Amino acid sequence: MDMPERSDTPGDSTLDELNKIKLKNLYLRIRSNENVNSPANFDLSGLNTPVDEVSNANMQNLNVSDFRSIAQQSNRGDCYSRIENVMKLKSLYSEAINGVFSAEPKNILIVTKPRNHSLVYLTADITKFLLTSTSPDSSVYVDKRLANSKRFIANDILNELELQEDRIKYWTPYICLVKPTQFDLIITVGDNQTVLYTSWLFQKLCPPVLTLSDADAPGFLTHFPAADYKKNINYLLNSSVSLRFSSRLECSYFKYNAETEQYTHVCTSYVLDEVQVSRGEHPYISNLNLYNNSELMTVVQADGLIISTPTGSTNMSMNAGGSLVHPALNALLITPICPHCLSFRPVILPDYSVVTIEIPLDSRASAFYSADGHSKIEMTRGDYLSIVTSQYPFTAIQNPHKQWTKVLEDKLHWNVREIQKPFSRKQSMILNKDNNDDKFDIAENSYNREAAENS
């Protein structure tokens, strides 16, 4: 006797509703077959918008009714192709990670932490040193906002060194977006936020980055102290350097239209640290559907959710209780923010996973998402994020004397506390032993001298 496909029992009804949610939220993952060595393909129609709001003009709207047929044909093959692509990238990066930065940089870009007057003076000194240390046909690009700065006067630098005017040029986010391959080297002067801003400027292809810290000790993203910039730049130009390819996330935001029941691609951001989805200003906890490779992983009820890279494991993910992961590893970290149940713990997935976060149609309120602290965007009911590991890593020049565990100790005072003293008695106490002191009442947690004297 054949069993019926469906029944009216409460358990089967709940399972059927869950399957409806899964089918409704399956998405079409269109992955480009761009070669890593090929130049980036930009959508020129969005050049007047911020970098992370450049939309893909070739991305078509997705119809909910097409999800069932498309997902059955593409989900499994897309997952395996994703694994294959990531493995190829790992092999490519492992071969070049100890490579020599032998080519003398012609175009050097300097990113300075804004609104810091002392760093503007330091940028002028670094510019002078680069112009005298590199070849005569090299150029130094500084921020366009320094063109009228009284602390950075390009004409005085050129007149002092007797150089031509084209040796100092100015960059804008537009130039970084359109011509990322024009620059051979990037030097950041500031803190971790300056490095994140540099990653935001170069959304896809990113030249090697020499990170100079404005503090005395390097940070998690800044590997060299700025006070020794001459020594560090000479090390870069005259020695073999190690490159660290830090993985980034490719976060695509899709907007749901309730009238047409279609999804529209809004923007794609390339994230170095983390993607955060939170309840924002709403008083209700966030209700999020979390998918792993199109399979419903769990329904999140918390203040928010953090999807982090190993590089960003020491940032917001750590503050929310996530694990510390070495930046050389390849993984995706999922950390809940104040979950409303004790069973939800941080999860680490392989880097070829496709993570999707969706706002259910029956959610009480909307949610807000941000990428590396930029562009806080409101997500309404039905919207979702598709997060995968990007094929464009962030390339940083590694300091051979900088150990990750040493940075944990310097910045977080990791495992630093007063050493516990061993159990021992002074010699004077052993010679002049007082038997009354040995009678200790554990229940009352005090010395019971009166009982000792009466006995």
Q: Which two tokens stand for residue 345?
A: 């713990």
pLDDT at 188 over 90: yes
What tens digit of pLDDT does each residue of 200-223 get? 999 888 888 999 988 776 788 998
> Whole-angstrom Cα distance, residue 146 to residue 115?
11
> Whole-angstrom Cα distance, residue 202 to residue 393?
10
> Are the C-beta atoms of 279 and 285 separated by less than 8 Å?
yes
How many CB atoms sit inside 10 A of residue 414's CB? Answer: 13
Q: Which amino acid does the sequence have at 272?
A: L
* C-alpha distances in Å from residue 67, one per residue of 22, 236, 367: 10, 51, 24
HSE of 343, CA atoms in CB hemisphere, 13 A: 4
For 125-162, the DSSP string reads HHHHHHHHHS-TT-EEEEEGGGTT-SS--HHHHHHHHT
Confidence band, pLDDT 50/70/90 cuts, at residue 87: low
Mean residue pLDDT of the chain comes to 75
In CATH, what is the architecture of 107-240+396-409? 3-Layer(aba) Sandwich (3.40)
Percent of the chain with pLDDT over 70: 70
Q: Which two tokens stand for residue 364?
A: 């009480």
HSE of 300, CA atoms in CB hemisphere, 13 A: 28
φ and ψ at 87, to 5 degrees?
A: -65, -40
> Whole-angstrom Cα distance, residue 31 to residue 83?
13
* C-alpha distances in Å from residue 7, one per residue of 3, 13, 16, 193: 10, 7, 10, 56
Pick 431 or 370 by higher pLDDT.
370
- At 41 the pLDDT is 29
- At 153 the pLDDT is 86
> Are the C-beta atoms of 383 and 253 separated by less than 8 Å?
yes
Percent of the chain with pLDDT over 90: 27
- At 243 the pLDDT is 79
Q: How many residues does the chain have?
A: 455
What tens digit of pLDDT does each residue of 275-311 get? 999 988 888 888 899 999 888 899 999 999 999 999 9
Residue 286 pairs with which residues in a beta bridge?
302
pLDDT at 68 over 50: no
- At 452 the pLDDT is 52
**Cα 79 to chain centroid, rounded:** 23
- At 259 the pLDDT is 87
Nearest-5° Cα angle at 366, 317 to 369: 35
pLDDT at 400 over 60: yes
- At 142 the pLDDT is 93
> Whole-angstrom Cα distance, residue 31 to residue 57?
14
pLDDT at 29 over 70: no
- At 122 the pLDDT is 92
HSE of 293, CA atoms in CB hemisphere, 13 A: 17
270-274, 335-339, 347-351, 405-409: segment of lowest average pLDDT = 405-409
- At 311 the pLDDT is 92
In this structure, which topology does domain 23-29+44-90+248-389 adopt according to CATH? Tumour Suppressor Smad4 (2.60.200)
pLDDT at 166 over 60: yes
Confidence band, pLDDT 50/70/90 cuts, at residue 44: very low
> Are the C-beta atoms of 31 and 81 separated by less than 8 Å?
yes
Taking residues 348-375, report their average pLDDT. 89
- At 330 the pLDDT is 84
- The helix, strand and coil proportions of the chain, stated in percent and rounded to the nearest 5, come to 35, 25, 40
Residue with token string 């100079």: 212
Confidence band, pLDDT 50/70/90 cuts, at residue 48: very low
How many CB atoms sit inside 10 A of residue 191's CB? Answer: 18
- At 425 the pLDDT is 59
Q: Show me where the domains of the chain are located.
A: 23-29+44-90+248-389, 107-240+396-409
pLDDT at 96 over 60: no
Residue with token string 């554990």: 442
73-87, 128-142, 236-250, 340-354: segment of lowest average pLDDT = 73-87
pLDDT at 6 over 70: no
Q: H or E segment at 356?
A: strand 355-358
Taking residues 360-373, report their average pLDDT. 89
Within 8 A by CB and 6+ apart from 353, the residues are: 292, 293, 332, 388
| pTM given for the model | 0.72
- At 88 the pLDDT is 58
> Whole-angstrom Cα distance, residue 314 to residue 189?
21
- At 70 the pLDDT is 30
- At 32 the pLDDT is 28
